[in-house]
Amino acid sequence: MPVLERYFHSAELGRRWTAPEGVLPSSAGGRPGCPQGPLPWDLPEMIRMVKLVWKSKSELQATKQRGVLENEDALHSFAGDVRLRGQTGVPAERRGSYPFIDFRLLNNTTHSGEIGTKKKVKRLLSFQRYFHASRLLRGIIPQAPLHLLDEDYLGQARHMLSKVGMWDFDIFLFDRLTNGNSLVTLLCHLFNTHGLIHHFKLDMVTLHRFLVMVQEDYHSQNPYHNAVHAADVTQAMNCYLKEPKLASFLTPLDIMLGLLAAAAHDVDHPGVNQPFLIKTNHHLANLYQNMSVLENHHWRSTIGMLRESRLLAHLPKEMTQDIEQQLGSLILATDINRQNEFLTRLKAHLHNEDLRLEDVHDRHFMLQIALKCADICNPCRIWEMSKQWSERVCEEFYRQGDLEQKFELEISPLCNQQKDSIPSIQIGFMTYIVEPLFREWARFTGNSTLSENMLSHLSHNKAQWKSLLPTQHRSSSGGGGSPDHAGQGTENEEQTVTKGNAP
């Protein structure tokens, strides 16, 4: 009889435990000391049983899979990537001491004289970590109060989803109404409304699991690069996919790629920029040879989660490979160091009028441009939301500056809170990065209603920030930035302000 079966048929499982005399038992979440009936098991015995079951199950799985794993071919080999988990301040000598479960190694590389084997690193937590995270096993009353108006909140969230295509969509309110699950809720809705679940025959449970994995891989402690930013970019991407000039040519695959890339484009962002990783000799900078370090990590992490969740496992192998490569191309396009490359190419296409959206390559290029616009569209939102995003990204800049000061490193441009004000940072960002890209996007869309609306907000927000500049800076700021940055030109602005290299 198998180990688990013998265990579950033992007489021990049928026993009932009662609390010691004079001690009133309490259920998980209940109040100690309140009269209640005896629990089937007390907490220590429950923990002991779960440990036994966990151990027995692990032994069975290990026995069954040992031979299979040793003979499995290593396909789609990726370089070993790791999850940052925000550990940006850990010295180099400590990097090797992270728990093994925190590493996502898609494949082991074959070393000389060794046989390469594909080892699947499961996302499941160890029992110890699960035990510490489980309120049920710990018997602790949940700290978050019960909301009697949860149904009302969900009703308001559903109402907001009916207006998800509007540019004034308030992602901050939506995140509160969904109790911090804005990205998962938004993506499930968009996949459904675009017919992607039916078209690709996606399993809804698996889709939800994958989206939860993506959302949880964003770090909520980041003021800017968190799951709310990902949801905001996804909502903007959805608006761009509906632009008449583009929408009529898009296939279901294009739409799915655009939404997935938007949702995962900053996954596992550490809250610091690429130059910081390079000058601290971070292992990711070494792994990707200082080229699009963060973007490569976001892409590889996304592919890892796709494979772990098996969301696309039912699709043909060639199709999944193509999806993985196109996702990489989209996410890598958000590297700000390639801003001039994409902008120059877009201008040339518009000047020559040679964009043929019937062609898959031209459509993919415009998806890249759309994602780049969505990624930096904050200054094109209404002032109230744009101001919040500006304060958040600058807070992340300043945190990096504090970290650099702590480790006696040179403080990066725009990261010195004593010298770099939010208005001056935002004016430079709008002038050198946002305006050039969105002007060309407006040309592509034929000055659509949405494009004109965004440019109008951009102009208004820039004027607002100019009015908030210190008096001594206003006269010299002209059309683009404070004296501290006016002479730095496009290069420094591009390298420090936007997503690819911003904290």
The residue among 98, 118, 100, 97 whose CA lies nearest residue 109 is 118
Plot region of 112 (φ>0 → left; ψ -120 to 50 → alpha; else → beta): beta
Contacts of residue 186, Cβ cutoff 8 Å, sequence gap at least 6: 161, 164, 174, 231, 234, 235
* Contact residues for 289 (Cβ-Cβ < 8 A; gap 6+): none
Three-class HEC string of 395-460? HHHHHHHHHHHHCCCCCCCCCCCCCCCHHHHHHHHHHHHHHHHHHHHHHHHCCCHHHHHHHHHHHH
DSSP sequence for 238-258? HHHHT-HHHHTT--HHHHHHH
Backbone angles phi, psi at 498, to 5 degrees: -90, 180
Q: Binding residue per annotation — 227?
A: yes
Q: CB-based contacts of 184: which residues, under 8 Å, 6+ apart?
A: 178, 208, 211, 212, 215
Q: Which of 140, 118, 115 is nearest to 30 (CA)?
A: 140
Burial of 388 (0-12, 13-18, 19+ CB in 10 A): middle
375 is an annotated ligand-binding site residue: yes
Identify whether 457 is a catalytic site residue: no
Would you put residue 364 in left (φ > 0), alpha (ψ -120 to 50) or beta? alpha
| 225 is known to lie in a ligand binding site | yes
Measured distance CA(158)–CA(41) in Å, rounded: 41
Is 426 marked as binding a ligand?
yes
Find out whether 265 is annotated in a ligand binding site. Answer: yes
In 184-229, the DSSP E strands lie at none
Dist. CA 483–CA 472, nearest whole Å: 9
**Rounded Cα gap, residues 167 and 184, in angstroms:** 20
d(C-alpha 263, C-alpha 106), whole Å? 21
The angle that helices 435-445 and 449-467 make with each other, rounded to 10 degrees, is 160
Which of 194, 219, 225, 485 is the catalytic position? 225
Provide the 10 A C-beta neighbour count for residue 375: 24
Q: How many residues does the chain have?
A: 503
Is residue 484 a contact partner of residue 422, using CB atoms and an 8 Å limit? no
| 433-436: long-range contacts, CB 8 A cutoff, minimum separation 24 | 433/336, 433/339, 433/376, 433/493, 433/494, 433/497, 433/498, 434/376, 434/379, 434/380, 434/458, 436/343
Question: Residue ranges for the binding site for AMP?
Answer: 225-229, 266, 375, 426
Give catalytic residues, as residue numbers. Answer: 225
Mark the binding-site residues for Zn(2+), compressed into ranges: 229, 265-266, 375
Query: Annotated binding residues, as ranges?
Result: 225-229, 265-266, 375, 426
